[in-house]
Amino acid sequence: VQLVESGGASVQAGGSLKVSCAAPGWVLSAYCMGWFRQAPGKSREGVAGIRFQSTRLYYADSVKGRFTISQVNSKNTVYLQMDSLKPEDTAVYYCAAGARTMYSALDRRRYIYWGQGTQVTVS
């Protein structure tokens, strides 16, 4: 599965941004999908996750109420809508696909396939 993120940008604090993750030719509804981020000098952390066919959504406490994960199966695309952005949200954002459901949705071990990342900078 090839995952391609897009939509990263530089925004001001309090602003909004929507990043996308596309998987041309693959059926993403067959996987659990997740968004992770990694800031300089920090480990990669789970931000949001969506179970098979959008049956359940999961969020890190740090983004709950501000970020929304969604999936459009007809487009094989997963989105992360980010509102009320803060400087501490600055990171490279990665999407991931996997099916190791013995791990939680925000645990990177659940996921097998990863995108190349897209930079989000909040100032």
Read off the pLDDT of each residue in 97-108 and give the average, rounded to a whole number: 92
Read off the pLDDT of each residue in 22-46 and give the average, rounded to a whole number: 91
Read off the pLDDT of each residue in 63-74 and give the average, rounded to a whole number: 93
Read off the pLDDT of each residue in 7-34 and give the average, rounded to a whole number: 93
Query: So what's the pLDDT on residue 82?
Result: 98
3-class secondary structure for the chain?
CCCEEECCCEECCCCCEEEEEECCCCCHHHCEEEEEEECCCCCCEEEEEECHHHCCEEECCCCCCCEEEEEEHHHCEEEEEECCCCHHHCEEEEEEEECCCCCCCCCHHHCCEECCCEEEEEC
Q: State the pLDDT confidence band at 119, using cuts at 50, 70 and 90.
A: very high
Read off the pLDDT of each residue in 93-108 and give the average, rounded to a whole number: 93
Read off the pLDDT of each residue in 101-111 and give the average, rounded to a whole number: 93
